[in-house]
Amino acid sequence: MGKFEIKTDKAGKFRFNLKAGNGQVILSSQGYSSKDACENGIESVKKHSQDDGNFERNKAKDGSPYFNLKASNGQVIGNSEMYSSESAMENGVASVKKNAPDASVEEVE
């Protein structure tokens, strides 16, 4: 079972990571100015992760595949790590779709 972890970064911004059942981070957010905004971002991930059209598949300058999850307004609400192959990236997309809707939310230090 996946989970969202909320933490505060060095700049005082709130960020979340979506972790798969094995503890691997599969999606990360940008910094939010408040915990409420961060929690709204999590709800947006839960909602938008079920539509494949919201996943934007990209390649980094070095050719590494990665993806962004976008809200219906086009704003990026989460991004993945860099993957070694397109099939590994697609597994990451599938993992977000599977884990996000029912993931618990917890705050970590």
C-alpha angle 44-48-53 in degrees, rounded to nearest 5: 150
- pLDDT tens digits along 74-94: 999 999 999 999 999 999 999
The pLDDT confidence band at residue 107, using thresholds 50, 70 and 90, is very high
106, two tokens: 């917890």
How do strand 14-19 and strand 65-70 relate by DSSP bridges? unpaired
Contact 60, 42 (CB under 8 A): no
Number of H helices, E strands in the chain: 2, 7
pLDDT over 90 (residue 17): yes
> DSSP assignment, residue 32?
B
Average pLDDT over residues 96-103: 97
SS3 of 104, please?
strand
pLDDT over 90 (residue 70): yes
Residue-level pLDDT at 1: 85
Taking residue 81's Cβ as centre, other Cβ atoms within 10 Å add up to 15
pLDDT over 90 (residue 109): no
